[in-house]
Structure 1
């Protein structure tokens, strides 16, 4: 699987070019599935109007509205009540997964409970994450980002990459997301962390990590 881990979506031409380079065909010929699950676990973004805006491509975060051949909705919290034969072929046949922001641990919980997490490493699709949709790939998200508490507690995530992410760096709407606080966050990890702003993404292909940015970012090592 190819990963494009963003803070706020495909927000500039540099990130857009990396996405098109990762695809095997043009965006206009690619089928996408959007996954809004993380939104429902976060009080700021769901459920309600903002979940609809993401799904319909009317949000301020360019992902669903990039001109895909088709866009479907995959709600992970519904999957445990559906036979796998109904949804697994859909996931396995899609070109792109567009995973919204929200609460990373809520997303992790439903990725695991639905069986979706088990599929991820074997997929040929490009995974485009935004905020929590990116953070969930890390081994841990950090106590600072724990909102919804999983039944098992802690801040463990998927661990499909060997670094953590601190998104929305220096965002004026999030006054706590400063570089100084990112450095404190990173000091609790044994693995590297990336602090990235909304004009930055991290591309991961075949284990190779590349920062794609028109903004501000910093690699924070233990």
Structure 2
């Protein structure tokens, strides 16, 4: 699987060019499935924000509103009840998975429980575009600062990549570089702080920052 791990989505031409390169064809020719699941685990999200994602409303113009050839929904909490033989062809038929933010531990739980995480190694050409928690879920840990789901046993996530991500740098009063540095000290492993104009592209385990904004490699 090819990864484009963002804080705020495809927000500028540099990130869009990276996405097009990963897809291997124009966005307008690609079939997308969006994953809203992380939103259910975060107290700031709910039916209205999920509706905005699925309807590609203006606030989601940097993800579901990019102009995909088709756009469908993949709700992970439903997958265990319908059987893998039904939903796996949907995933394999998609060019890209658009994975929105919310709580990364909740998302990680349902990626495992649904069986989708087990499918990752057999999807070498599928592109994963993460926003916020949709990116953080691919890391080893997110830090206690970002755990909002009451059912989370700890801050661990999937560990598909070897680094952690502090998103939304400068986007909120609490998301300062100083706060990111304190967070990174607790994480203890490789970590980046990225703003809304930054993404991390990962192909075959190689990570590359693509940005028109501010980002910092906090630990190596």
TM-score range, shorter chain: over 0.9
Cα separation, 2, equivalents of 1:203 and 1:211: 6
- Residue 71 (structure 1) aligned with residue 81 (structure 2): no
- Kept after mapping to 2: 8 A contact 1:31/1:68: yes
Residue by residue over 1:28-85, the C-alpha shift from the partner in whole angstroms, topping out at 9 and shown as x without a partner, is 1111000000011111121x11110011111424111111111110000111111111
Residue by residue over 1:126-180, the C-alpha shift from the partner in whole angstroms, topping out at 9 and shown as x without a partner, is 00000000000000111111110335x1111000000000000011xx2111100
- Residue 187 (structure 1) aligned with residue 185 (structure 2): yes
Name which of structure 1's ranges 134-143 and 53-62 shifts more when overlaid on structure 2: 53-62
TM-score between both structures, scaled by the size of structure 2 = 0.96
- Kept after mapping to 1: 8 A contact 2:142/2:187: no
- The residue that corresponds to 1:130 in the other structure is 131
- The residue that corresponds to 1:35 in the other structure is 35
Q: Runs in 1 of length 4+ with deviation above 3 angstroms?
A: none
- The residue that corresponds to 1:88 in the other structure is 88
- In the TM superposition, residue 27 of structure 1 has moved relative to its aligned partner by 1.3
Cα separation, 2, equivalents of 1:59 and 1:186: 33
- The residue that corresponds to 1:156 in the other structure is 156
- In the TM superposition, residue 115 of structure 1 has moved relative to its aligned partner by 0.6
- Kept after mapping to 2: 8 A contact 1:42/1:148: yes
The SS at the match of 1:165 is strand
Cα separation, 2, equivalents of 1:76 and 1:67: 23
Gap regions ≥5 residues in structure 2: none
TM-score between both structures, scaled by the size of structure 1 = 0.95
- The residue that corresponds to 2:55 in the other structure is 56
Gap regions ≥5 residues in structure 1: none
- Kept after mapping to 1: 8 A contact 2:6/2:129: yes
- Kept after mapping to 2: 8 A contact 1:2/1:204: yes
- Kept after mapping to 2: 8 A contact 1:109/1:150: no
Q: Give the number of equivalent residue pairs.
A: 218
Cα separation, 2, equivalents of 1:121 and 1:148: 27
- Kept after mapping to 2: 8 A contact 1:196/1:218: yes
- The residue that corresponds to 1:199 in the other structure is 197
- Kept after mapping to 2: 8 A contact 1:50/1:59: no
- Kept after mapping to 2: 8 A contact 1:80/1:114: yes
